[in-house]
Amino acid sequence: MSAASIAEVQPVPSQVDQVQEVLMPGEHTLPASWWTSEKIFELEKRAIFHKTWLYTAHASRFKKAGDYFSYNVTGINFFLIKTKSNEIKAFHNVCRHRAYPVVRKEKGSSVILGCKYHGWSYNADGNLTKAPHFDDVQGFKKEENGLFGIRTHVTDQGLIFVNFDATEEGPIPFDDWYKGLQDEMHEYDFSDYEYHMSYELDGQFNWKTLMDGYQECYHCPTAHPGLNAAFKMSTYKVVPKNNYCRHYAEIVKEEVEIPEDNDDEDENNSSWFGFGKKKNEAKPAKKEGKKENPGGEFNGLWVYLYPSNGVNCYSPAWYSIRVLPITATHTILQYDIFTKKGLADDKKKEFVDFLQLVELEDFNLCELTQKNLNEGVYSTGYLHPKKENGVLFYQKIVKEMVKEHWAKEKEAGKPINPAYVGGKKQSDEAAELEDFCKEVECQGSNPETEFMQW
């Protein structure tokens, strides 16, 4: 080929841009069996949920020492509590004596936590302070029988994460795992918001069924008419980052509707999508020297946090979603809503109503989708390389983490649960009996053995 002909076929810069715009062939979803198999689900718990940082709460909910909130993630009961030195700590909600739950309410406040089975007591730092009649028991040490702690990380904006990984090497440090997240969250002032309410949805679907919908807005024009009217869907994009994704979309500003009797600029601009309100014809004049109100210019700070949480910030409010897997086909969704300090009640209601409408629309999509996944006739589907890139992104991490952990388990010849805390300082006999049980269980799950039993 001559130099001239090479020059002829080399694309000019504008052509290069065009080439980049051409969509590459997409990939497929993971197979449906990953949405229905209990064995895969149990493996996901060990490989993903017991290793990664999980968003749990906002620090503003803990007002004084002893304030606590309890949670259940993948069957693990734990609670967060504020200590006398104003730290937020997390503990397994398991008494070190005979495993009764130490905290039995969703929330409360006490600097001494008494177990209602045999009366052991712990302080907010998890130390055992009282164990009736154990003073005379030889070899028993209170300091060795405190509550099992769970690693936590609180960002400078008060977002609290936990990590169940109790192995000696521990998890990847928070700032490496979610590299860049904390800086990104500085675009929003969480201190200007206060707790408003929480609610929960109980879904008969796999946790990934919800995440699939959460990670794309390809479905929005069809499934969310309200959202579709409020945002320019052509601008919606999901940008994968380090184990999190940022979602972007421009607000349809000309559609922001303002109540007739309200001429306060801040209030006007911070209107949620203005549902059921009069359409705003003229843009309110900007006050000299006043900071641009985020409601007018702020398109939202929406973040998906792998594996199963999200924090979504708007002007009038922000909310978090915790997607809590219970079984392969049962998932609980928990929402906490925080509204701007001083926000009028009708504005709060407007936000909550709209959020609940959208969440319910998603919930219904998930329930019917899961029913079909359970049928066993569908396996995989094509994902759009751009419109569903967020789905591809998170499913890829799921696949990699699960396969990597499975390889380790195969090598070890037994399940490895990084959240397991009972193995430390147990007697030789207990360790031996623990291994005995694992061996029996592994045999029990061998299809050949099961067949013989049948």
Q: How many other C-beta atoms lie within 10 A of the C-beta of residue 441?
A: 11
Question: What is the separation of C-alpha 257 from the centre of its chain, rounded to a whole number of angstroms?
Answer: 32
Do 328 and 33 contact (CB within 8 A), yes or no? no
Q: Which is nearer to Fe ion, 49 or 218 (CB)?
A: 218
Q: How far is CA 341 from CA 3, 70, 197, 206, 348, in A?
A: 68, 25, 14, 36, 11
Q: Which is nearer to Fe ion, 295 or 390 (CB)?
A: 390
Options 53, 62, 120, 319; binder of ligand FES; rule CB under 6 A: 120
Do 79 and 91 contact (CB within 8 A), yes or no? yes
Does residue 103 interact with ligand FES by CB under 6 A? no
178 binds, among ligand FES, Fe ion, none (CB under 5 to 8 A by kind): none
Measured from the CB of residue 351, what is the shortest distance to Fe ion in angstroms? 17
Options 97, 232, 237, 414; binder of ligand FES; rule CB under 6 A: 97
Q: Tokens 């396969």 appear where?
A: 403
Residues 6 or more apart whose CB falls under 8 angstroms from that of 334 comprise 198, 199, 200, 321, 322, 324
Do 149 and 90 contact (CB within 8 A), yes or no? yes
Q: Helix, strand or coil for residue 301?
A: strand
Q: Which is nearer to ligand FES, 136 or 260 (CB)?
A: 136
Q: Which is nearer to ligand FES, 94 or 373 (CB)?
A: 94
What secondary structure letter does DSSP report for 382? Answer: B
Footprint on this chain of Fe ion (rule: CB under 5 A): 213, 362
Does residue 130 interact with ligand FES by CB under 6 A? no
362 binds, among ligand FES, Fe ion, none (CB under 5 to 8 A by kind): Fe ion
Q: Which is nearer to ligand FES, 99 or 433 (CB)?
A: 99
117 binds, among Fe ion, ligand FES, none (CB under 5 to 8 A by kind): ligand FES
Q: Which is nearer to Fe ion, 213 or 325 (CB)?
A: 213
Does residue 100 interact with ligand FES by CB under 6 A? yes
97 binds, among ligand FES, Fe ion, none (CB under 5 to 8 A by kind): ligand FES
Measured from the CB of residue 213, what is the shortest distance to Fe ion in angstroms? 5
Q: Which is nearer to ligand FES, 84 or 118 (CB)?
A: 118
Does residue 118 interact with ligand FES by CB under 6 A? yes
Does residue 115 interact with ligand FES by CB under 6 A? yes
Q: Hey, what are 110's tokens?
A: 């006490």
100 binds, among ligand FES, Fe ion, none (CB under 5 to 8 A by kind): ligand FES
Q: Distance between CA atoms of 305 and 385, rounded to whole angstroms?
A: 20
- Residues near ligand FES (CB under 6 A), total: 9
Does residue 71 interact with ligand FES by CB under 6 A? no
Q: In 69-78, which positions are buried (b, 16+ CB within 10 angstroms) versus exposed (e)?
A: bbbebbebbb
Does residue 403 interact with ligand FES by CB under 6 A? no
Q: Which is nearer to ligand FES, 119 or 221 (CB)?
A: 119
Measured from the CB of residue 360, what is the shortest distance to Fe ion in angstroms? 10
Q: Which is nearer to Fe ion, 237 or 438 (CB)?
A: 237
Per DSSP bridges, beta strands 107-109 and 67-73 are: antiparallel
Does residue 140 interact with ligand FES by CB under 6 A? no
Q: Which is nearer to ligand FES, 32 or 94 (CB)?
A: 94
Measured from the CB of residue 95, what is the shortest distance to ligand FES in angstroms? 3
Strand runs labelled E in 165-294: 193-203, 231-240, 244-251
Q: How far is CA 15 from CA 2, 21, 24, 79, 445, in A?
A: 22, 10, 16, 57, 57
Options 98, 105, 396, 399; binder of ligand FES; rule CB under 6 A: 98
Does residue 104 interact with ligand FES by CB under 6 A? no
Residue 244 phi, psi (nearest 5) = -145, 165
Q: Distance between CA atoms of 438 and 17, rounded to whole angstroms?
A: 57
Measured from the CB of residue 136, what is the shortest distance to ligand FES in angstroms? 17
Neighbouring C-alpha atoms within 13 Å toward the C-beta of 116:
6
444 binds, among ligand FES, Fe ion, none (CB under 5 to 8 A by kind): none
Q: How far is CA 410 from CA 13, 415, 416, 445, in A?
A: 51, 8, 10, 14
Q: Distance between CA atoms of 296 and 120, rounded to whole angstroms?
A: 55
Strand runs labelled E in 274-426: 301-305, 309-313, 317-327, 330-340
Does residue 227 interact with ligand FES by CB under 6 A? no
Q: How far is CA 207 from CA 141, 210, 285, in A?
A: 41, 6, 46
Residues in region 77-96 near ligand FES by CB under 6 A: 95
Measured from the CB of residue 449, what is the shortest distance to Fe ion in angstroms? 44
Does residue 142 interact with ligand FES by CB under 6 A? no
The site for ligand FES (CB under 6 A) is made up of 95, 97-98, 100, 115, 117-120
